[in-house]
Structure 1
Amino acid sequence: MHPVEVFELIVGMLLAVLVLQYVAPRLGLPPAVALLAGGGALAFVPGLPTIDLDPNLVLVIFLPPLLMDGAWFTALAPFRRHLSGIASLAIGAVLFTAAVVAIVTKLVVPELPWAACVALGAIVSPPDAVSARAVLQRVKLPRRLGTLLEGESLLNDATGLVLFRFAVAAVITGSFSLGEAIGSFAFLVGGGIVVGGAIGTLWVLLLRRLADEQLVVAASVLVCWMSYIAGEMLHVSGVISTVTAGLVCGWYQHVVLTASVRVRSLSFWQVMIFLLEAAVFILIGLSLRGVIDRVGGIGTVVQDMAWSVAAIIAAVILARFAWIFGSDAVLGLLNRAGRRPAEPLGPRAASVMSWAGMRGVVTLAVALTLPETMPGRDLMLVSAFAVILVTVLVQGTTLGLVIRLAGLQEDERSKPPLDLYAAEASMHAAQFEAVQRMAHASDGSLLHPRLLDSYRRRATISVEFSGSDEDRDRDIAAHYGVILAAVAAGRAELVRMHRAHQIDDETLHDLERDLDLEELVALAAKG
């Protein structure tokens, strides 16, 4: 394709993203489902060129920022608290699923060598961070389940990628060493933690010295690719390196970023992540045609591979159920024996966890890196794509329903000691104390009476309130509803004065920024 045509295709794809994202909620579909289905439909539009993805380029473009986004906003304390459960899913569940898929594949396609069966298991075993984020951000889960799923999606790619590399090497060389595989995995993970921690630390030190806000925003965006590429160049896990850097940056961003930089960088980052996530699902859908053409057409898929692919899909889904319910049963036995490593999830929560196993871009990209000489390569490509389609279209569409049917309740023990209103009251008390110290001159005269009165009112309003939680929420919503109405009236008057040439553009922008900040504060408080 001519470079201009490539650019036109990208613009067209982004326009399709906007349309599908707009249509999805009106059809009652998760946006990921609409984007994947829309991309699959667009792939067969006459005249549209076949999309051939470079798997390594796809991984390096999309995976680092999406991993960084998840790690940046990960709550570190719950992450550490549930690390054993996360490791069980990110390592144990991946290895178990890969083993089950390998066994099933060997049963349905006996001529495939065991190493090739394991390679297929490694491709389809890790749930995808992008798919999980796209679905989970639109459903409400108890804190523990959300932490487990988010942590799993951040770390499991490393397990799948290492297993895949060793399986492919075993096919090519005809040899495999379990000890070497375990040692390599430990080196990749440990090295990734070191590299990511170092880059995250450098980011913190750099931002303390940068005064230009644009440089700060740019450095904050580039750190995800720096950590991933550095990890891969040093032959450690780029995934673990990126996640570690994201955890470090997310922990320190509250003290190294100014309010202005935080607002600007967050706005830019959210738009970039939205476009990348949407583009991932569109590209997966668009690549459907290329995968089908590569294996000989839809007729070949249906006639020669349908039953094998169906068995592999069933193995992927059921293996996750078996691992999660089995692990939960073991926890229950340990608790009854007096050892309490963690509380069991229970059947309802375990069902939700088991159903939340969507696959995505990593599965497809890894499948596309299979050597041309790999035995069963066509079956692997079709199986990888089928697993993505079924898990995103079926599980992604019905996950919200499964959560509602499960009727999960938040565990009171997982709640923090202070709720939102108690924390806000403590913050207002600290602000009032600071203003009170500075509100008087050295002779005792009052310098800032209005400020003192304003902050005193903020500090005492929570204490004075005596109604129920429902009354408080209703009063707060009404209070900030009035503020939002006042902001809207002020904005309308500001625009009227500008259109009537009573104020210049500079005045318009200055006062508009003040109204925007006031509106953001009111919306956050009302919500």
Structure 2
Amino acid sequence: MHSVELFELIVGMFLAVLVLRYAALRLRMPPAVALLLGGGALAFVPGLPTVELDPELVLVIFLPPLLMDGAWFTALAPFRRHLGGITSLAVGAVLFTAAVVAVAAKLILPELPWAACVALGAIVSPPDAVSARAVLQRVKLPRRLGTLLEGESLLNDATGLVLFRFAVAAAATGAFSLGEAVGSFAVLVGGGIAVGSAIGAAWVLLLRRLGDDQLMIAASVLVCWASYLAGEALHASGVIATVTAGLVCGWYQHVILTASVRIRALSFWQVMISLLEAAVFILIGLSLRGVIDRVGGFGVVLEDMAWSVAAIVAAMTLARFAWIFGSDAVLTFLHGAGWRGAEPLGPRAACVMSWAGMRGVVTLAVALSLPETIPGRDLMLVTAFAVILLTVLVQGMTLGLVIRLAGLREGERSRPSLDLFAAEVAMIKAQFAEVERKAYAADGSLLHPRLLDSYRRRATLSAEFLGSPEERAQSIAAHYDVILAAIAAGRAELVRLHRARQIDDETLHDLERDLDLEELIAIAAKG
């Protein structure tokens, strides 16, 4: 394909992304579903070239920023508190699912070598960070479940990728060492943590010295690829390195980034992540044609592979249910035996956790990287694609319904010690104390009387408010509705003055920026 044609295809793909996301919005369906179906339909449009994905390139382009986005905004305290549960899902559940899938594949296809069966299990076992984010953003989960699922999606790729590499090597050489595999996994994880910590620390030191907003934003964006590539280059886990760097950067960004950088960087980052997520799903759909052509067409898939694929998908799904419900039963026993550190999920939460196992780009990229000589390669490719389609379409579209039917409620233990109102009161008191300290000159004369009165009034009103949370919410909404209406009136007047040539473009942009910031603050406060 000519380079210009490739660029035209990329532009066309992003135009299709806009159309499909708009359609998903109007149809009230998850965008991932619309993008996956739309990409699959576009793959068979006559005249469009077959999309051949380079697995390594796909992982390098898409995985680091999407992992970084999840890690950057991960709440570190709940992550640490639930690290045992996250590890159980990211390591235990992946290995157990891979083992169950391998056994099922061997029973269905006895001629398939054990190493190839394990490789298939490694391909389909880890739920995908991109798919999980795309679906979980549209549902409301209790904090503990959200932390477990997000943490699992950040770390489980490392387990699946290590298992896959050893399975493929065993299929090629006929030799496998469990001790070597465990040792290699420990080195990859430990090395990834070390590399990610170093990259995160370097980012903190660098941003303390950069004085330019654009340079700070650029450094914050590039840190995801820097950590991933550094981890892979040093034979550590790029996934773990990226997640670790993201956790470090997310922890320190509150004291490193200025308000200007934070607002501008967040806007840029959200658009970039949105486009990357959309591109992932539409590329998965577009690659369908290549996979079908490679195995001989839909007829071959339906006649020779359908039942085998369905059985493997069922085994994969049931394995996740078995691991989560089994783990929860162990926690229930330990809790009943008096160990207060063991807090079971309960059957309803366990059901939701079991159903939230969407697969995506990692599964497809790993499947496409299979050597041509490995036995059962065609079946693995079709199975990988079927797993992605079924989990995103079926589980992704019904997860919200499952959550509603489960009737999950936020547990008291997972709530923070201060609610929003109490935290706001504490913040305003600290602001008032600082203004009061600087409002007077050395001789005791008052320098800033209006500023002092303003902060005193805010502190008094916040501390003395006695209404219920519902009454407070109504009062805040009415208050900021007036502010937003005033901002709209001011914006309309600015435009009128500019159109009448009474103010120039520079004045318009300067005052409009002030109104934009004021509007963002009002919308955030109202919400």
How high is the TM-score relative to the length of structure 2?
A: 0.99
Q: CA deviation at 1:464?
A: 2.0
Contact 2:348 2:406 in 1 (8 A): yes
Which one is further off, 441-450 or 131-140? 441-450
Say whether residues 1:219 and 2:233 are aligned partners: no
1:82-97 → structure 2 map (5 Å cutoff): 82-97=82-97
Say whether residues 1:520 and 2:520 are aligned partners: yes
Q: CA deviation at 1:338?
A: 1.8
Which residue in the other structure is 1:27 paired with? 27
Say whether residues 1:330 and 2:330 are aligned partners: yes
Which one is further off, 373-382 or 494-503? 494-503
Q: CA deviation at 1:438?
A: 1.4
Q: CA deviation at 1:334?
A: 1.0
Say whether residues 1:361 and 2:361 are aligned partners: yes
Q: CA deviation at 1:72?
A: 0.3
Which one is further off, 39-48 or 439-448? 439-448
User: Partner letter of residue 476 of structure 2?
Assistant: I
Q: CA deviation at 1:413?
A: 1.0
Q: Supply the distance in 1 between the matched residues of 2:320 and 2:457 (Cα, whole angstroms).
A: 54
User: Partner letter of residue 467 of structure 2?
Assistant: G
Q: Secondary structure at the match of 1:208?
A: helix
Which residue in the other structure is 1:450 paired with? 450
Q: CA deviation at 1:28?
A: 2.0
User: Partner letter of residue 146 of structure 1?
Assistant: G
Q: CA deviation at 1:316?
A: 1.1
Contact 1:55 1:366 in 2 (8 A): yes
1:11-410 → structure 2 map (5 Å cutoff): 11-410=11-410
Q: CA deviation at 1:27?
A: 1.1
Q: Supply the distance in 1 between the matched residues of 2:341 and 2:106 (Cα, whole angstroms).
A: 36
Residues 437-482 of structure 1 show CA distances to partners (whole Å, capped at 9, x for unaligned) of 1112233332212211111122122222111111110000000111
Contact 1:100 1:319 in 2 (8 A): yes
Q: Supply the distance in 2 between the matched residues of 1:205 and 1:47 (Cα, whole angstroms).
A: 52
Q: CA deviation at 1:279?
A: 0.2
Q: Secondary structure at the match of 1:452?
A: helix
Say whether residues 1:504 and 2:504 are aligned partners: yes
Q: Supply the distance in 2 between the matched residues of 1:341 and 1:184 (Cα, whole angstroms).
A: 31
Contact 1:51 1:287 in 2 (8 A): yes
Instruction: Report the number of matched residues.
Output: 527
Unaligned runs of 5+ in 1: none
Q: Supply the distance in 2 between the matched residues of 1:345 and 1:461 (Cα, whole angstroms).
A: 41
Residues 9-53 of structure 1 show CA distances to partners (whole Å, capped at 9, x for unaligned) of 100100010111111021121001111011001101111110000
- Identity over aligned residues, as a percent? 83
Q: Supply the distance in 2 between the matched residues of 1:313 and 1:500 (Cα, whole angstroms).
A: 66
Q: Supply the distance in 2 between the matched residues of 1:128 and 1:344 (Cα, whole angstroms).
A: 24
Contact 2:79 2:147 in 1 (8 A): yes
Unaligned runs of 5+ in 2: none
Q: Secondary structure at the match of 1:445?
A: coil
Q: Supply the distance in 2 between the matched residues of 1:484 and 1:371 (Cα, whole angstroms).
A: 59
Q: Supply the distance in 2 between the matched residues of 1:111 and 1:291 (Cα, whole angstroms).
A: 23
Q: Supply the distance in 2 between the matched residues of 1:29 and 1:251 (Cα, whole angstroms).
A: 34
Q: Supply the distance in 1 between the matched residues of 2:193 and 2:165 (Cα, whole angstroms).
A: 20
User: Partner letter of residue 495 of structure 1?
Assistant: V
Q: Supply the distance in 2 between the matched residues of 1:106 and 1:264 (Cα, whole angstroms).
A: 53
RMSD, aligned α-carbons: 0.7
Contact 1:331 1:341 in 2 (8 A): no
Contact 2:207 2:256 in 1 (8 A): yes
Q: Secondary structure at the match of 2:100?
A: helix
Q: Supply the distance in 2 between the matched residues of 1:442 and 1:496 (Cα, whole angstroms).
A: 47
Q: Supply the distance in 2 between the matched residues of 1:457 and 1:9 (Cα, whole angstroms).
A: 59
Which one is further off, 70-79 or 447-456? 447-456
